[in-house]
Chains A and B, each alone.
Chain A
Amino acid sequence: MTNSAFRQNVGTNWRTALDDVLKAAKNSPCTACPPASGTTLAFPSMEKHLENVEYFVANFQVNAITSTDKFFFWMRGKKKGGGLLADNSPLKSEMAQTFHELKRRGLKEADVNQFGANYTTMPVNGTSRQSDILLSIGTHIELKNTPYNANSTPKVQAIDQVIGQNGAFGNISSLSEFEWVAFANRDNDATSLKTMWKNVFVTKADDMFKSVEDGGLGIIKIKQLFGNDVDDVSDFLDLIEDVSSNPIYDFIKAE
């Protein structure tokens, strides 16, 4: 990094910035370290993380996209409003996973509309009505840095954030416009995640299949997302029954 895009883009105080990045990433185990555990699981290896930081700094300006600036604070272990982030701050995990996704997908500034996009103008319940990355092509990406298994039940907010009428499903016109990505580093695998979401769908189907007036997704949205052949709950339950190679579950990923 000493003769890199990082150095060129950060400028004269790059040594201090690099020190901060290294300190803030001390949760990242190096490849020669013992197996990751605890909060280190929320990070890629130190080597990968530094590559991800360099990719981010090389491709994103501080204020070109709304909410990019927060990452320039977080990567140095600082809060946007001042002060230091705690060692185990979830904001650091969010930053590490976001950088991982940006580099993995080769996303550049023009590809991202914004970070931390509200689905609604007036979000209810804090950030539950928000996705982490909104791409310029209209796709929302929600990142999760939590270990799940097939029998997990996501938190109420995490469910509402996806299937609620003011969450992702209420604000997209096609399932291809949403990705729910759980960090693979946290032992997540796609099949288990899909089974977990199938269980959520089964439990919540009656709530989804209500009129919009009554708090559900409504008939127009259901058909937009799941197809014209879904007329009632039983059609939907048939559609989601098979988890393997079912395109309905393509939006769920472990990366």
Chain B
Amino acid sequence: MDLILKDKVNSCGDFSLIQSSLHYVSNSILYKYPSEKIIELKDYWGVHFDLFLFNVFTNRSNNKFYDYLGNEICEFDKRNFYHIFASNDFIYYDRTSKKTKYNDSNIFESKIGGNFLSGKSLFIPKDNLIISLNYTNAETPWQYNLAELGTYTPLHKQEQKPYAVRKFLGLWQNDLLIACDGGLLLAINQESGVLTRQWQGLPKGADDYLQSVLRVQLPQQGYVYQLNLAKTRIEAFFLHYYFYIDLESGTMHLINCKDNLKKYQIEQYKYSSAYAEDATHLYTKVTYDKGTLGTDYIPTGLCAFNKQTHEIDWQYRFDQHDDYLKTDNPQLSDNKLYQLSADKVLYIFEKEEDV
């Protein structure tokens, strides 16, 4: 398996893969790849891409919806959009009434943060609570209080912190999977709000190095966990380990990749908030061993991790191209891998399978 660099888009800002088509902003113009101009953007600070429309918004809370032909559909002031189902059907925070609304109906008394939508249910993190809200009738069937699980001490710090939802990972069967800051993963029945399973602490067999660095805990950054495409595993990359929880059995597993990474002078996986995945591989950012390579910076790169063999099948060093990676994550669509660099270059790789 190999990935070949096919193209680069310079001066790239926000981008998204809509129905396998790359849409990107460059020099304040929104294009469909390779160079079909859709609209010129003015006074914007972000573009949110949805399936059938995109939302251009300013840092003064003005939102304009466009279709992908560049036609303006509607404009709104003083609204923060959470979920856009259609150009006249959405869940949003109304900044004037200070309530969250589903179209014209009030459904919640405040903002709803990094919520998760499943059918007609919204799951809302609010202080220590996870609140289940039916957005069609504003009923709240249950709430779960994370304070029941105690507190944690952030590594190398003195203070105690309550567990907080960092990321809703998705659904497994009827359970809502949640990653909390503090190295705690939860499964809560989405209908009853009952805690069904929780994972905390390193799996058995964790080596001395890992036990020492993580003080026998799972990584505390809740953002590193992800539900895999098949929805059978929670997984994460950290240090030189691939970690996963088999959701069927509930067992945690650790794969030590150190020797394999070393072949490529890779020191470790870069802490990342998402991994790209296809049938055969996971794609994630890495950092190289600057001591071995003799650089005065930490070189960064991208790798393809084979899901079967747990080995690196491909890697790409960005500093060899006078570039580097920050926190942007790789994205995958239609056999192409997209990675935005710190120099605002979108690298487009194409996957070539072994013949």
Contacts and interface: CB of A to CB of B under 8 A. Distances in A.
Interface string B255-295: 00000000000000001110000000000000000110000
Contact of A219 (B14, B221, B322): B14
Contacts of A229: 80, 93, 111-113
Contact of B221 (A120, A173, A206, A235): A173
B57 A174 contact: no
Interface string A112-127: 0010011011110000
Interface string A213-241: 11010111100100111011111000000
A213 B154 contact: no
Contacts of A107: 156
B314 interface: no
Given A121-B299, A174-B221, A233 B60 contact: yes
A235 B110 CA distance: 13
Contacts of A214: 45
A209 B44 CA distance: 10
B45 A111 contact: no
Interface stretch (B133-141, B188-196, B209-217, B225-233): B209-217
Contacts of B60: 232-234
> For the complex, would chain B's binding face be called helix, strand, loop or mixed by DSSP majority?
loop
A244 interface: no
A220 B14 CA distance: 9
Interface stretch (A46-54, A71-79, A84-92, A136-144): A136-144
Contacts of B326: 170-171
Nearest to B48: A219
A210 interface: yes
Interface string A55-79: 0000000000010000000000000
Nearest to B12: A213
A211 B25 contact: yes
B80 A136 contact: no
Interface string B140-182: 0000000000000011100100000010000000000000010
A12 to B, nearest CB: 27
A128 B249 CA distance: 49
Contact of B327 (A106, A173, A213, A233): A173
Given A170-B326, A213-B27, A121 B297 contact: yes
Given A229-B113, A232-B61, A211 B271 contact: no
Given A110-B212, A232-B61, A174 B324 contact: no
B219 interface: yes
B73 interface: no
Given A171-B326, A176-B181, A219 B223 contact: no
Given A107-B156, A211-B46, A219-B45, A121 B324 contact: yes
A232 B13 contact: no
Nearest to A123: B297
B121 interface: no
Nearest to A206: B59
Interface string B332-350: 0000000000101000000
Interface string A83-110: 0000000000000000000000111101
Contacts of B214: 137
Contacts of B297: 118, 120-123
Interface string B56-72: 01111100000000000
A28 interface: no
Contacts of B58: 232
Given A105-B156, A206-B59, A211-B25, A120 B342 contact: yes
B257 to A, nearest CB: 16
Contacts of A176: 154, 181, 220-221
B85 to A, nearest CB: 18
Nearest to A137: B155
B33 to A, nearest CB: 17
Contacts of B319: 121
Nearest to A234: B61
A110 to B, nearest CB: 5
Nearest to B80: A231
A132 interface: no
A212 interface: yes
Interface of B: 11, 13-14, 25-28, 44-48, 57-61, 80, 82, 93, 111-115, 154-156, 159, 166, 181, 209, 212-214, 219-221, 223, 239, 271-273, 290-291, 296-300, 318-319, 322-324, 326-328, 342, 344
Given A177-B271, A220-B328, A231-B57, 17 more contacts: A66-B290, A118-B298, A121-B324, A135-B156, A171-B326, A171-B327, A173-B223, A173-B271, A173-B327, A176-B221, A211-B13, A213-B13, A213-B27, A218-B14, A228-B115, A232-B58, A234-B61
